[in-house]
Amino acid sequence: MPTQYIFIIYGLFFVAIYFLIIRPNSKRNKQAKEMRDNVKSGDKIITIGGFVGRVRRVTDDELEVDFNGTMLRIKKWALSSVDSNEQVE
């Protein structure tokens, strides 16, 4: 009987780990991938380094971004957030 309790406790532990850590992390990763795949020309972006700019051209894995007159190419994985509605000054 005590062996059964140990298996039940381990099972509950792994279920808790799944719902508290693994599942939320995979949801965040899925949302981030969706955001990066849906970026388009004209969107305002913020990079993981904190730079704010406007997307001028989109390729498979890179973006050409205007950072206040300076055009740079960045990788899509370097995006932190995308906002289609705001204007960059």
pTM above threshold 0.75: no
pLDDT of residue 84: 77
Question: Based on the structure, what is the number of domains in the chain?
Answer: 2
Radius of gyration of the chain measured on its C-alpha atoms = 21
pLDDT tens track, the chain, 89 positions: 688 999 999 999 999 999 999 999 999 999 999 999 999 999 999 999 999 999 999 999 999 999 999 999 999 999 999 987 655 45
Predicted confidence at residue 86, as pLDDT, reads 56
Do both 32 and 54 map to the same domain?
no
Amino acid type, 49:
G
Pair 29, 49 in one domain:
no
CA 80 to centroid of chain Cα atoms:
7
Q: Are residues 17 and 52 in the same domain?
A: no
CATH code assigned at 89: 2.30.30.100
Residue 73 domain boundaries? 40-89
- Longest Cα–Cα distance of the chain, Å, equals 72
